[in-house]
Structures are given as C-alpha cells and as structure tokens.
C-alpha cells in the first residue's frame, strides 16, 4: 500500500521490523491504537495529498491520496497513520515461519483444494462461501469468519484522473483486529505448505504420471479464498447495518452467531454467484441514501411481510433499469465528494461506499449488452487497454479485484 511502507529498522523476535510504539506494546496490539489521532493527509512523507491542494474540485495530476474503510462504524479514514502496513514476506522469512511454528494444515483446510476442483454445478454458492471463509478464518486463528472479514477492507486511491479500489491483502490486515500468531502475514507460506503436503502425499497414475485425485491449482485456490472473503464481507455489512438493528429477535450486533443467522436467512436461496451478487447490489441500491427511519421501515417490511421471499421482493423493487442507473450515479457522486472534500467531512455516512462500489462492479458481467453500455463506474475502468471503458478480464474477476 502506498504511503505506508516502513523504512526498516531493527527486527523483533518474529523477524519483522519493530512496530511503532503506539501500535504494539509488550503484550501485543495496543487497545488504544485506534484512538490515536490521525495526522493530516499531507503529513505523509511518501507524497500523500493535502486536500487543501484541491482547487475547484480538481485534483493535481501528480497528487496521490488514499482512503480506507472496512464498512464498520469507524467511518472512512485516510490510510496515513492507520495501524496496518504491507509486509514483504521474503523467502527467508517464509522458511523461518515454517521452521519455527511447525505449522501443519488442518484437515478442513487440506480438503478445500480437492472439494473446489470437483464439478460444482450443484453446489450451493453461499454455503460454499461460508464454509470456505470459516475454514480460512479458523486456520489463521480467528474465532469466527466475522472478525476475519472485519479485519480487512477496501483502499481507494486517486492519482490525477486515475482511480483504484481494491480489497486489502491478508498481509495488510489491521494489527488490533488480527490474531497474535502473525499467521495472516504468512498466508502464502501456509498455502505453499498445504500444497507441499498434497504433492508429497498424492498418488500418481502409474501409466501417465498424473495425480490420481485432482485438486485446484495453487493460484486459483488463493484467488478463490480472496474472492470469497470479499463477497462474504458484502453480506456481513448488509446484515450489520440494515437488518440486525431492526430485528425483533437475534438483534445483538456484537454476536457473531446472530450475524451468521441473519446472513444465512437472507441469502439462503442464492445458489449461484449471479443470484448472490445481484441480491447484494439490489439491497444496497434500495437502502443507499435512506435516513434511519426509512431504513427501519424498509427492513421491518421485508423481514415481517416477506420472510423467505425477501430475495424475490428485493429484486422486484430494484430491477428497474432507471433505478440502477440512478444508484450508480449516486455512488459516483459520493466518490467525487471524497475527492473534493476535506478530511473533516469524510465521516461515517460513507463507510459503506467502497463496499457498495465494489459490489456494483462485480455485477457488470451479468448485465446485457445494452445495460453494459449505460453502466456507470469509475472504479472498474480498464487500465490495460487505455480506452477508459469498463472492461475487466476474467482473471481480475477470478481474483475478486
């Protein structure tokens, strides 16, 4: 991540550069780390933009600024000074991790490459997401998939006329939200160890020399874990913000079990990725821009009167083309407000903006040719062909970015 790299320094016992004292103390992550006031955006030594440089809503071509959000009540924050940083895991650190921790893949984690290689036309997409994210979270030491996805988020970068919106890698999870075992820093090493075990124990066909039991390729496996985490995060935010606060039962937003209950109830009928992503986008489009009372009225109506038919009712209300176009334009205007605004007015009302934009971008592949021509998005413009038109390749979609 730009503007967050450390210059090095002494390494601690874990093999990483020493952490800033306001983030880590002798017992691990400091509980007060998030309460430390953030410096102005322009204070970054790596060239982050001081928003006072924005003149008449125009960002200088050479300027760079970043915002980060995980969709929680923390709001939208600049990345300068946040308690997370990218970690470059060198081959030496990877070897040291595998040698010192004696890490061995769990049986559930070991089974994922084989399960996902099988034909899954009959697999339940949302059930597959929940299982995959739960196994990944437990493998890294999280108590459940909820804190795992809450430790991640989206980073929005703007430099001149170019923009970028990406889901954070595992090496960039927040310190105060991550387990103390540092496994998330070595996620690629964990996957490599998993595939080393698979190849070591795998049986070969005596005639062709091929694997007798096929498994998903390592790059595809990592991409699916990343994609599933982001898509599960979409649903958790919808439950957290729009439904749990207005539920008459199971309404404890701090309970992982309550969030999972409502997540499964809302998305149980989404057997395909198309069903799930379109429903996510449609729910966001209906609730986006509503005040608290209107959100409560809409959520109560859906939960009380439609029950197991929530998906059909939401899609019916949000399927008009003009409704979707207006929603896309509202998202784009909100992104422009961030660029034009100052740090003081970038608050909690936009904490869901990046998740909404990313979910909207993922629905592009399901649109008709006519709908694609009218699609509005500045966060998924192709940087490869230079045309400025929306066009994300299959590889980017597979990686969830």
What values do phi and psi take at 383, rounded to 5? Answer: -95, -5
pLDDT score of 273 more than 80: yes
Assess if residue 86 is contained within a domain.
yes
Assess if residue 284 is contained within a domain.
yes
d(CA 86, CA 358): 21
Closest-CA residue to 390 (of 361, 353, 354): 361
Closest-CA residue to 268 (of 214, 316, 307, 219): 307
Confidence band (pLDDT; 50, 70, 90) for 280? Answer: very high
Assess if residue 54 is contained within a domain.
yes
Question: For the segment 121-151, what is each residue's pLDDT rounded down to a tens digit?
Answer: 678 999 999 999 999 999 988 889 998 998 8
Q: Quick one: what percent of the chain has pLDDT higher than 70?
A: 65
The pLDDT of residue 42 is 32
The pLDDT of residue 388 is 39
Assess if residue 14 is contained within a domain.
no
Cα three-residue angle 155-218-184, rounded to 5 degrees: 45
Assess if residue 2 is contained within a domain.
no
Assess if residue 246 is contained within a domain.
yes
Number of domains making up the chain: 1
pLDDT score of 41 more than 60: no
pLDDT score of 253 more than 50: yes
Question: For the segment 59-115, what is each residue's pLDDT rounded down to a tens digit?
Answer: 445 556 778 888 876 656 666 555 555 566 677 877 787 777 888 999 999 999 998
Strand-pairing partners, residue 212, are none
Domain that holds residue 329: 24-399
The overall average pLDDT reported for the chain is 74
Assess if residue 261 is contained within a domain.
yes
Q: Of 49-53, 64-68, 84-88, 249-253, give the range with the top mean pLDDT.
A: 64-68
Assess if residue 8 is contained within a domain.
no
Prediction pTM value:
0.77
Question: For the segment 329-379, what is each residue's pLDDT rounded down to a tens digit?
Answer: 999 988 888 777 544 444 335 788 999 999 999 999 999 998 899 998 988
d(CA 182, CA 175): 9
């Amino acid at each position: 991540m730009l503007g967050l790299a450390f210059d090095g320094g002494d390494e601690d016992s874990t093999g990483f550069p020493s952490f800033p004292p306001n983030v880590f103390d002798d017992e691990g992550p400091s509980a007060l780390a998030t309460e430390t006031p953030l410096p102005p955006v322009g204070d970054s030594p790596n060239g982050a933009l001081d928003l006072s440089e924005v003149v008449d809503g125009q960002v200088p071509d050479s300027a760079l600024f970043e915002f980060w959000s995980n969709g929680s009540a923390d709001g939208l924050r600049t990345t300068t000074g946040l308690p997370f940083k990218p970690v470059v895991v060198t081959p030496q650190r990877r070897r040291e991790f595998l040698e010192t921790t004696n890490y061995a893949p769990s049986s559930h984690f070991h089974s994922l490459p084989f399960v996902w290689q099988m034909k899954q036309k009959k697999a339940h997409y949302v059930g597959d997401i929940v299982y995959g994210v739960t196994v990944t979270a437990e493998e890294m030491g999280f108590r459940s998939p909820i804190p795992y996805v809450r430790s991640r988020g989206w980073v929005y970068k703007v430099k001149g006329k170019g923009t970028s919106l990406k889901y954070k890698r595992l090496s960039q999870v927040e310190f105060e939200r991550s387990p103390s075992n540092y496994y998330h820093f070595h996620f690629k090493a964990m996957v490599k160890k998993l595939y080393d075990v698979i190849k070591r124990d795998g049986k070969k066909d005596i005639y062709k020399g091929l694997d007798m039991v096929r498994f998903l390729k390592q790059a595809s496996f990592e991409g699916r874990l990343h994609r599933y985490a982001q898509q599960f995060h979409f649903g958790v935010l919808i439950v957290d913000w729009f439904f749990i606060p207005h539920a008459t039962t199971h309404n404890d937003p701090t309970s992982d079990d309550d969030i999972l209950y409502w997540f499964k109830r809302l998305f149980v009928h989404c057997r395909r990725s198309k069903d799930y992503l379109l429903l996510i986008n449609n729910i966001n489009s209906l609730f986006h821009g509503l005040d608290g009372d209107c959100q409560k009225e809409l959520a109560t109506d859906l939960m009380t009167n439609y029950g197991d038919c929530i998906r059909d009712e939401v899609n019916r209300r949000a399927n008009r083309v003009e409704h979707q176009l207006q929603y896309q334009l509202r998202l784009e205007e909100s992104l422009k407000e961030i660029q034009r605004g100052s740090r003081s007015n970038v608050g909690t009302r936009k904490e869901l903006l990046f998740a909404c934009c990313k979910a909207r971008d993922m629905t592009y592949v399901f649109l008709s040719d006519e709908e694609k021509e009218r699609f509005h998005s500045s966060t998924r413009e192709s940087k490869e062909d230079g045309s400025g038109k929306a066009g994300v390749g299959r590889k980017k979609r597979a990686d969830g970015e």
